[in-house]
Amino acid sequence: MARDTINDLQALLAVARERSFTRAAIKLGVSQSALSHTVRGLEAQLGLRLLTRTTRSVAPTPAGERLLTSIAPLLDEIDTALAALGEFREKPGGTIRITTGEHAAQAVLWPALERLLPEYPDIRVELDINNGLTDIVAGRFDAGVRLGEQVAKDMVATRIAPDARMAVVGAPSYFTGRKRPRIPQDLTAHECLNLRMQSGGLHAWEFEKGGRELKVRVEGRVVVNSTLMALEASIAGYGLAYVLEDRVRAHLADGRLIRVLADWCPPFSGYHLYYPSRRQPTPAFVLLLDALRYRG
């Protein structure tokens, strides 16, 4: 197969995965017009329409879907094989793409990268900060970081952090004149800071005690899509926040926040780095994995 055809197929795959010529062009480092010309040329060569274009979206046609289903694994294998050649470098190099939530990036990934990157200048890292559950295969990520309970069973997972706990917290000023909740159901009488998920729904607050599990749909005047913003609003006295315990440990110690319902928040599996079992890790990825591995 001609090299130009392989490049054209990679361009088509990028557009299909991004569902956008603009985003795909940015990812590939080319102009949008050049990318559109490449895809149209491939369609002309095959005599088939491969993408359906509207003013709002781009999606594969049935012919395009069949082609992409066949070639995507092959192109991914080519990329993996080329990346694996890094073992012949004097020092490992290449790009590692990881999708992760905001908190994991700050608390776990970045401290490890600060130790690793100065020693290996040929390693590049791209972090996709995304609190949703991303398909790392479709997104062509080398790995993802999520809580242990969120990792799919068909993935290779390595623990990179200790067990975690949630915490319900509020400022001393918020509790002035209010009774502190003793059981999760009491939250219905409180101002709570709701978290809007990437799916569009609101995050239910989950509790467990004595084998009894509860999910509480809380109400409040403030809705955010960032736990950091929820924490700031809670410190300012606007309501109760439901956040990871390690985010508020310092605030609890200095009295800026008060914790409630601690006995309803048991530990659960902490952050894991995960990747497809069929993917052969590159030398650079192995180094990162070793730097992140939890040894507690």
Task: Summarize the confidence of residues 239-267 as an average pLDDT.
Answer: 96
Query: For 62-110, how does the pLDDT look when each residue is reduced to its tens digit (9 = 90+)?
Result: 888 888 888 878 777 777 666 666 555 567 788 899 999 989 999 999 9
Give 220 or 15, the one with higher predicted confidence: 220
Q: What is the pLDDT of residue 2?
A: 53
Distance from C-alpha of 209 to C-alpha of 50, rounded to nearest angstrom: 54
Give 55 or 272, the one with higher predicted confidence: 272
Distance from C-alpha of 283 to C-alpha of 290, rounded to nearest angstrom: 11
- What kind of fold does domain 166-264 have according to CATH? D-Maltodextrin-Binding Protein; domain 2 (3.40.190)
Q: What is the pLDDT of residue 277?
A: 76
Q: pLDDT band at residue 113, thresholds of 50, 70 and 90?
A: very high
Q: What is the pLDDT of residue 1?
A: 46
Q: What is the pLDDT of residue 283?
A: 86
Task: Summarize the confidence of residues 211-233 as an average pLDDT.
Answer: 93
Class of the CATH domain delimited by 89-162+270-292? alpha beta
Q: Which residues lie across from 129 on neighbouring strands?
A: 100
Q: pLDDT band at residue 117, thresholds of 50, 70 and 90?
A: very high
SS3 101: coil
Distance from C-alpha of 68 to C-alpha of 10, rounded to nearest angstrom: 10
Query: For 124-177, how does the pLDDT look when each residue is reduced to its tens digit (9 = 90+)?
Result: 999 998 877 778 877 888 999 998 888 878 888 999 999 999 999 999 999 999
Query: For 168-206, how does the pLDDT look when each residue is reduced to its tens digit (9 = 90+)?
Result: 999 999 999 999 999 999 999 999 999 998 778 888 999
Q: pLDDT band at residue 288, thresholds of 50, 70 and 90?
A: very high
Tokens 């294998």 sit on residue: 77
Q: Same topology for domains 89-162+270-292 and 166-264, yes or no?
A: yes
Distance from C-alpha of 290 to C-alpha of 277, rounded to nearest angstrom: 17
Q: What is the pLDDT of residue 15?
A: 85
Q: What residue segments make up the domains of the chain, in order of their start?
A: 3-85, 89-162+270-292, 166-264
Query: For 4-56, how does the pLDDT look when each residue is reduced to its tens digit (9 = 90+)?
Result: 677 888 888 888 888 888 888 877 778 888 888 888 888 888 888 889 887 77
pTM of the model: 0.68
Q: What is the pLDDT of residue 84?
A: 62
- The bridge status of strand 155-159 relative to strand 271-276 is antiparallel
Q: What is the pLDDT of residue 90?
A: 60
Output the six-digit token pair for 2: 């001609």
Output the six-digit token pair for 63: 């012919």
Class of the CATH domain delimited by 3-85? mainly alpha
